[in-house]
Amino acid sequence: MTDRWDPAAFKARVDGVLHGFLDEESGHLLAIDDTLAPVAEQLRNAAGHGKRLRAAFCYWGWRAAGQPDGEALLRAAASMELVHAAAVVHDDLIDDSALRHGLPTAHVALETVLTGRPGGRRRARPAARSLAMLVGDHLMALAGELFTTSGLPAAYLSRARPLWAALARELVAGECLEILHTGRPPDTGTSLKVVRYKTAKYTVEHPLLIGGLLAGAGPALRDAYSAYGLPLGEAFQLRDDLLGLFGDPRRTGKEGLDDVRAHRPTALLAETWRMADARQRERLRGVLGRGDLDDTHLGDVRDLMRELGAPQRVEQMIHTRVEQATRALDTACAPPHARRALRDLARQATDRIH
């Protein structure tokens, strides 16, 4: 790959690595017992979608430190996508989400398969949820395997190993924080902390830093990565929350009322609650956490949020964080082509319709 950043070509390369790696792992499972076929299928499907942003940030963490393109680095970067795949399977299971990318989530797909087997529907749901949990666990283990067998020198890999522990710890902490605060009175500060630890760090900052550590980046460049990566990762998730409620489900592949039904601690909901008067809060209480919401309720929630200006404030949060991230690039001691690629990735991560 040349210094010109071609996101489509990069995605194709990462897809090739992931498909080959997961196909091989699926074969290992089937060699144990062919009744594992549904599990093997979900393992292959788990990393079948996405723009490969996390791999791209790891890649440019390496390139911005002056290192060349290479297949070993590409495999190490692709491991970031397996971290994401594991997080998605677990998150969908925790949230009991039915759709992801417009397709059944892992536990839903597995339940469909198991319903036709002995025990029928009675056993299918708990068994499918257990299997999905194990698929997510295995994907996280496979992320570590792909990273350590990437072909990079052991001395390079050892520089990044401590950050892997931090990545896993903070990802789990963020998911736990969301669970613990779900259903509680909305609070913007709490919501932003959940955003930071559940998504922002493992989406941008950690992949960048892992790429930089692999490349031997010095402290100043790593500080610049964090100054860029943390606000950008937060902006990414804030955009995701906006799209979750105001996006077109045909494009987002998610149900628009998921966050409202689950009463999740999103910044969008917290800002709505903060600006609402007693009457408007009562309207919100009438829908939060309810499982029987329909398109009429969705329209009512959207109207209330617009009335209170919550989407505009979240848009401003996104804008402020993207500006902060791109300013950090101006002082980063990185080659011009790397700074251009990172600016392009900032737009790709936050200017999206799904």
C-beta neighbour count of 164 within 10 angstroms? 18
> H/E element holding 99?
strand 99-100
User: d(Cα 343, Cα 323) in Å, to the nearest integer?
Assistant: 10
What CATH number corresponds to the domain at position 272?
Answer: 1.10.600.10
Amino acid sitting at position 8: A
> Encoding tokens for residue 258?
């998921």
CB-based contacts of 282, cutoff 8 Å, min separation 6: none
The whole-number pLDDT of residue 6 equals: 94
User: d(Cα 335, Cα 298) in Å, to the nearest integer?
Assistant: 47
> Encoding tokens for residue 221?
């460049």
Please measure the distance between the N-terminal and C-terminal CA atoms of the chain and give it in whole angstroms. 28
User: d(Cα 241, Cα 157) in Å, to the nearest integer?
Assistant: 34
The whole-number pLDDT of residue 134 equals: 98
The whole-number pLDDT of residue 294 equals: 87
> Encoding tokens for residue 31?
């060699």
Q: Where are the alpha helices (DSSP H) in the chain?
A: 7-32, 37-46, 53-63, 71-95, 106-115, 120-148, 154-181, 188-195, 206-215, 219-246, 249-252, 258-262, 267-275, 278-285, 295-308, 310-330, 336-350
Report yes or no on 227 lying in a domain.
Answer: yes
* Cα→Cα distances 122→57, 92, 117, 128, Å: 44, 21, 11, 11
Only one residue has tokens 């950043």, namely 5
> Pick from 116, 266, 242: which is nearest to 186 by CA?
266
Q: Which domain holds residue 267?
A: 7-350
Report yes or no on 1 lying in a domain.
Answer: no
CB-based contacts of 98, cutoff 8 Å, min separation 6: 104, 105, 108, 255
Report yes or no on 205 lying in a domain.
Answer: yes
The pTM score is 0.93
pLDDT tens column, 261-271:
888 889 999 99
Report yes or no on 2 lying in a domain.
Answer: no
What's the number of domains the chain is made of? 1
- Mean pLDDT split into 10-residue runs, the chain, 354 residues: 83 97 97 97 91 97 95 98 96 89 91 79 89 97 97 97 94 96 92 95 98 96 97 96 86 76 90 95 89 88 94 96 94 90 95 69
The whole-number pLDDT of residue 270 equals: 94
Q: Which residues of 240-264 are buried (b: 16+ CB within 10 A; e: fewer)?
A: bbbbbbbbebeebebbbbbbbbbbb
The whole-number pLDDT of residue 269 equals: 93
Chain CA centroid to CA 72, Å: 23
Report yes or no on 287 lying in a domain.
Answer: yes
> Pick from 189, 104, 63: which is nearest to 96 by CA?
104
Q: Is there a contact between 273 and 189 (Cβ–Cβ < 8 Å)?
A: no
User: d(Cα 58, Cα 14) in Å, to the nearest integer?
Assistant: 12
User: d(Cα 203, Cα 58) in Å, to the nearest integer?
Assistant: 10
